[in-house]
Amino acid sequence: MKSQSLIILMLSVAVSSPTSLAELPGAVTTLIKTHCIACHGSKTREGDLRLDTLEANFSDSQTAAKWIEVMDNLNLGEMPPDGEAQPPVELIEQTTDWIATELRDAAMQAKSTGGRVLMRRLNRSEYANIVRDLLAVEFLPGEGPRDLLPPDGTLNGFDKVSKALLLDPSLMEKYFEIASIVADKAVITGPPPVPTRRNRMEYEEIDGGIGYIKESRTTIVTDTGIITMSQGMRSDDNLRHPWNGQLIPVRGRYRLRVRVGADAKDREALYMRISRGGDGDIYFGKVPGTLDAPEVIEVERAFDVPGSDEIGIQFEDAPPFGTVNYHFSDLNRAADAAITGGDAQRAGRLRAQMGAQGFPNQGREHPDSRTTDHMPRILFDWIELEGPLYDQWPPRSTQVVFHRGLNQSEFGPAYAREIVARLLPIAFRRPVDDTEVDRIAKMITSEQHHGETFPDAVKSGLIAMLCSPEFLLVNESAPDRSLTADDGPRQLTGHELAFRLSLFLWSSIPDEQLRIAADNGELQSVDQLLRHVHRMLNDDRATALVDGFARQWLKADEFDRFAVDRNLYRDFYSTRNAGLNEAINAEPLEFFRHILNTGGSVLDFLDSDWTMANEPLARYYGIDGVQGREFTRGALPADSHRGGLTTMAAVHKFGSDGNRTKPVERGKYVLDVLFNDPPKPPPPNVGEVEPNVQGENLTVRQRLDQHRTIPACASCHRTLDPYGLALENFNVVGQWRTKQDGERGWWPDEAVVDASGTLPNGVTFTTIEEFRAALRDQSDRFLRGLSEKLFTYALGRIVEPSDRTTIDGLVKHMKANNQTLQSLIEGIVLSDAFRTK
Amino acid sequence: MDKDNSGKLNAESGDLHDFDIGFPLSTLGLRKMPNTHARQISRRTVLRGTGGVMALPLLEAMLPQTANAVSVAASTPKRLGLFYFGTGMNMREFEPQDEGRNYTLSPTLRVLEKHRDDFTVFSGTFLKHGGGHDGDYTFSTGVKAKDNGAIRNSVSMDQIAAEQLGRETRFPSLQMCVERGTGFGGNLRTLSWNRNGVPLASENDPHVLFNRLFKVDGPAEKELRERGFRQRRSILDVVMEDAKRLERQVGKQDGIKLDEYLTSVREVEQQLERDIDWNVKPKPAVDTTGMSDFSESCQVHMPAGQFSYDRYAKMAYDLIVLAYVSDSTRVITYVVRQESAGGSFPEFGVSKGFHELTHHGNDPKNLAELAKVDRIYMQQWGYFLDRLKSMKQPDGSTLLDHTLLGFSSGMGIGHSKDRLPTCLFGGKAAGVQHQGHLRLPEQTPLSCVWHTMLDRAGVDAGSEFQDSTGVIQELLA
């Protein structure tokens, strides 16, 4: 939020009581008196709208709706109607600005908590992390609480705010269900159902049903494997688990390893796709290694039982090589029929078979394949599947819960009480009293009396723990405190502060060290508090700041909101760009992670000479020397035009509709994300930039200019559009362009991109480099915006006018400390707002 | 709950095996469900006995004793459904040109030709706070729920209906959507909001819903269920103690959140009692011959290649029919297509996502593809109507005649607040007289259609209902 609106807000709070026309700002009164009242006055009331008595009471929805009508009609130029005297543009602007500000303030008040942190429930990421840290329980992907709980509501962009984290009966029901899943997963008393085993298949030894691969003209069998020039590869019985003769005997985690090598010949690289029929891609990317020195691709992930018993490997973009094959047509027809018949699984199996057999690359013998020396090829050495994998047995979680083991003779009320007394303070994030422990311990014993086994009875105790309001709600009303929360701000207790801190940095509960510090009252000391902040930021769990804060701040979940047009941007979908879209989406988050981990300056978000890239992205950006799928820091070449968030392809994709760029959306993104100053919403039904009419070749910018013919609209767009038009040199998929592209296949030479502009502060620019410099010049505005965003995330409430000095202090602290995220985090943690309730 | 009263029910007392209907629920401090089964033959018993049930069971003996035999139609429970097709439609192909009962069906509606006497398509409906991508928030409540990021909604029309129609069914209402959850803050995944303005989460897998409604437990499962009931009760006792204690500590502002918790736990308790109550009766047996196969999960997040939207749509609609016909619930909301997100699938054979298509920019190809997608959805809707009409009553009426289905969107075309694709289906036995294409005055609130549905379903909508200006007189028989 910009400082200006804060001041206006403070003023408007004082005058929020209903007013008559006389109390409106001068410009508004002038406009209404001179141009409106003749028709919308006491006598005529046209359109049932009377403006002489309309009060400035924006918290009343009926009144606010009438003001919106006034604003929209002024903005659209529909009022005063044609033929009447038109008010000066400045007067319209002042009036619409005033209405918009008043509306925003009224909305703010509706969200306001009066600067207090309200009780809220855990969001689903926090729930999942806490269960992990409390019970050491692990879930397969897609099976954990994060996947099972419904997505959380958000307010001001974050899922941490009390008013958005609602609790309804169906969610409560879900909490019971998930708590029982967690308890079942945590307490395991039997032996592992299926033993872990590693099965390997040597490709040169294949026979039986898939032995034909060796006979094909497109393969060469060697001592160590099979080299193929077109054909993919399949697996046979040797890869199946002897427990029940299936590839995947039981749902679980498995490790797949394939040893391969490539001879790309005249190609840059070869690509392959590993898949299991009916189970999607396991790997899609470059073939590593060479024929002489093959390398191993290793993928560890969860597999479920349903699906094919074969692992197929497809040679992507393989050279055409083959003869007429009716088998292919038959398979294709059968697959189509299966889809129509609703049997998607069978269709998937057939398609996988087609893929593995090298279809649809087969056709009539290709002239190029009469001799084969020049043809690229892949060596398949062996394939290995290991699993189901267990870290240990019984799982660590069972040992965490039953700290004295699963010895029958121990089972009884005393052990139950001990278990509860150990876990409950961690789960409730505070010391607990005997009554609380007894309540659950007695319930466990009573379950036993009803015939449940001791471990099962303990599960019930765990469920009660996980469904208690003391667990699900962030409760900052410690029982040992005499003040109630409505008595005004008070210092948090050590345990409350510890939990606020761990929620902020880890989205989880305090660890043992932090708990002990809270027990000993050490967190009241600033030095001790900071020591823990630094310790916690260096812990792996601090990745929660990336997954929680950065992801929401940068709107990373929306990068794919529009799909890139397949016909216009074919290269984007080409095999050599395997993994590119994922890499593009990850770049801004990795950038944040790097700054967080290395103590870099956040101003690099405005402009930088480096970025984070893996091989597919580095290739795309023209960064040399980056190998593999892991992200590393890479220096941007001088001529890359890139540097900072606004030049990242993810942002360009976000600000496009998959077909053409949307400069207004990009501008909105920049203002919201970098400056926390989103523009006011447009009047309704303003529509989109129209496509070119037949025979015209206007660029998006030219059409946008046409679009803004109404002076009142132009005034708002003037502050918004330059931030988006500055990025016009980046197309829908973030590639550099100097000529218009998108929307259609061909553009004339004169359709040149113009990315120049003037920012609202008067700074002009003609190139992206100048624009980046202009952003850097607004670093104070950016630091303020970022502080407000992280403050909202840390406290789970919106920034209020009374936080003004706090935010000022945060910005100052950052500037004195090289603008690091650490300094911002320190500043927030040490602020009164964070340490009081 | 109060310890003194609950002593007998406390897990410690060891006397919890009695799950009979006559269980003294009042001692639990719970609202007991009105026992509608006592002096009448349970319809479920009948459903069970006949095996393949394809007609609405409506023997006279099953009617309330006070009811008149003549009023078969009137006493058949009325069902209500509210459906959302997000991001509007191509209204240029949807809106019929001429009016009245003998109107010419528009290209999009043509697939519903054989049902033309069973529905009315409206022109002129309007969502004052809709348009853009926030229409889903006001769709079922009529208020400006989303205002610059602040969200304050009020009760939705279906929940008003559920309060009155849902008393006698196992589930007061069902929420369905292509995606799970509420979507609160983003594109909504539910149309239902309770009296506190809290959205009710949707389920997205018809298989899961089918099991919840109809899967018959074996003896072992049943025992497990009963153990589960006991366990759940014990746990509820414990967490309620925690909550009571907390209630004494928290301040007024925090109390709001704790209230949400308490309300939710009480609702879970009530549902548990309802489940226990219903557990002694068999779940309704339904015949799914010729219907979808519900034995496997089906939802949009299945691995590529396994998901067919056509199969999914039919499963979802079949499930609704089964839920209505078995009287498991009388009120259903379904977000068929979410606002802004999703909406088109590879099998549709269009070049872009639905939202992308709605940014048509007047490009004829986009508009044609948009209409194509709309037609696919309408075709599946036609399947749904076929199913409802195949369920016959003894008096010749069909399930559709006793069911009021309303659909529309949060926007029209070009993200507008007007020109909504609004239709009302069924309800002929509930006193609806369909008018073909009915042109309402410009900017008639959409809530007038909902108002009419409630009125015909016998639901008292109160003296003021949303922003409705009244029921639509032309539709009243």
Name every residue whose Cβ is closer than 8 Å to that of residue A683 and which is 6 or more positions away in sequence. A71, A72, A75, A76, A713
What ipTM is given for this predicted complex? 0.75
CA pseudo-torsion sign B169, B173, B178, B184: negative
Alpha helices in A656-803 (DSSP H): 663-669, 675, 700-707, 711-725, 768-776, 779-795
Contact residues, chain B, for A155 at CB < 8 Å: 149-151, 185
333-392 of A, contacting B, C-beta below 8 A: 339, 342, 344-345, 347-348, 351
Tell me, what amino acid is at A114?
Answer: G
Express each pLDDT in B139-175 by its tens digit: 999 998 877 656 778 899 999 999 999 888 888 899 9
Name the DSSP class of A672: I
| Parallel/antiparallel/unpaired status of strands B79-85 and B403-408 | parallel
Q: Among all chains, which residue has been given the structure tokens 């703010």?
A: A108
Residue A543 pLDDT > 90, yes or no?
yes
Contact present, A179 and B231 (Cβ < 8 Å): no
d(CA A530, CA A743): 53
User: Could you say which DSSP state residue B106 is in?
Assistant: P
The per-residue pLDDT for A315 is 92
- Chain B partners of A166 at a C-beta cutoff of 8 Å? 182, 184, 198-199, 260
* Residue A394, preceding peptide bond in cis (omega within 30° of 0): yes
Average pLDDT value for residue range A449-474: 95
pLDDT of residue A367: 55
Query: A759-771 pLDDT, tens per residue?
Result: 988 899 999 999 9
Verify whether the Cβ–Cβ distance B242 to A484 is below 8 Å. Answer: no
Instruction: For residue A2, name the pLDDT band (cuts at 50, 70, 90).
Output: very low
Q: What is the pLDDT of residues A480-490, one digit of tens each?
A: 444 444 556 78
- Please tell me the distance from the alpha carbon of residue B388 to that of residue A749, in angstroms, as a whole number: 60
- What span, in angstroms and rounded, lies between the C-alpha atoms of A433 and A416? 16
Q: Give the integer Cα–Cα distance in Å for B322 and B211.
A: 12
Whether the upstream peptide bond of residue A360 has omega within 30° of 0, thus cis, is: yes
Q: Is B36 left (phi over 0), alpha (psi -120 to 50) or beta?
A: alpha
- Residue B293, token pair as written in the block: 């196969």
Q: pLDDT (tens digit, 9 = 90+) per residue, B320-338?
A: 999 999 999 999 999 999 9
| DSSP letter assigned to residue B474 | G
In degrees and rounded to multiples of 5, residue A764 shows phi and psi of -105, 155
List, for residues A417-456, the tens digit of each pLDDT value: 999 999 999 999 999 999 999 999 999 999 999 989 999 9
Check pLDDT > 50 for residue B65: no
Q: What is the mean pLDDT of residues B182-211?
A: 87
- Minimal Cβ distance to B258: which of A443, A469, A487: A469
Residues in B 253-292 with any Cβ partner in A closer than 8 A: 253-254, 256-258, 260-261, 263-265, 267-268, 271
Which of B150, B230, B235 faces A107 most closely, judged by CB atoms? B150
Provide the pLDDT confidence category of residue B280 given band limits of 50, 70 and 90: low
Smallest Cα–Cα separation from A308: which of A254, A246, A365, A362? A246
Rg of chain A (C-alpha set) = 32
Structure tokens at B186: 């983003």
CB A94 within 8 A of CB A27: yes
Identify whether the C-beta of residue B305 lies closer than 8 Å to the C-beta of residue B44: no
**Which residues on B lie below 8 Å from A659 (Cβ)?**
352, 356
Torsion over CA: A392, A398, A404, A406 (sign):
negative
* Its pTM surpasses 0.80: no
Q: What is the DSSP string of A499-553?
A: HHHHHHHHSS---HHHHHHHHTTGGGSHHHHHHHHHHHHTSGGGHHIIIIIIHHH
| pLDDT for residue A618 is more than 70 | yes
> Are A463 and B352 a contacting pair at CB < 8 A?
no
E strands in A620-762:
632-635, 757-758
Question: What is the distance between the alpha carbons of residues B56 and B391, in angstroms, rounded to a whole number?
Answer: 7
Number of Cβ within 10 Å of residue B41's Cβ equals 12
Asked if B144's CB is within 8 angstroms of A168's CB, the reply is no
CA A114/CA A568 separation, integer angstroms: 51
Asked if A552 contacts A792 with a C-beta cutoff of 8 angstroms, the reply is no
Q: From the CA of A497, how many Å to the nearest CA of chain B?
A: 17
Cα(B467)–Cα(B141) distance, integer angstroms: 9
Beta carbons of A124 and A145 less than 8 angstroms apart: yes
A822-831: average pLDDT? 97
Exposed/middle/buried for A437, CB within 10 Å: 0-12, 13-18, 19+?
buried
Q: For residue A566, list chain B residues with Cβ-Cβ distance below 8 A.
A: 351
Tell me how far apart the alpha carbons of residues A295 and A283 are, in angstroms, rounded to a whole number. 15
- Name which of B198, B250, B362 is nearest A690 (Cβ-Cβ): B362
Cβ of B185 within 8 Å of Cβ of A65? The answer is no
The candidate with the shortest Cα–Cα distance to A242, out of A390, A387, A140, is: A387
Q: Report chain A residues whose CB lies below 8 A from the CB of B300.
A: none
Query: What distance in Å separates the CA atoms of residue A171 and residue A173, rounded to the nearest whole number?
Result: 5
- The two tokens of residue A752 are 């040149």
Beta bridge partners, A634, equal A611
Please give the angle made by the CA atoms of A753, A576 and A644, to the nearest 5 degrees: 45
Count the neighbouring beta carbons within 10 Å of the beta carbon of residue A236: 18
CA distance B240 to A721: 55
Residue A361: band (very low, low, confident or very high) from pLDDT cuts 50, 70, 90: very low
CA A36 to chain centre: 48
CA distance B206 to B190: 15
Q: Are strands A271-276 and A219-221 parallel, antiparallel or unpaired?
A: unpaired
Residue B234: which of A156, A443, A469 has the nearest Cβ? A443
Distances (CA, A) of A322 to A211, A319, A605: 18, 9, 52
Tokens read off for A460:
């019930």
State which H helix or E strand residue A80 sits in.
none
* Mean pLDDT of all residues in A590-612: 97
Res. A22: pLDDT tops 60: no
Residue B385 has pLDDT above 70, yes or no: yes
What band does A38 get if pLDDT is binned at 50, 70 and 90? confident
CB A651 within 8 A of CB A665: no
Task: From B156, B162, B123, select the one nearest B137 (Cα to Cα).
Answer: B156
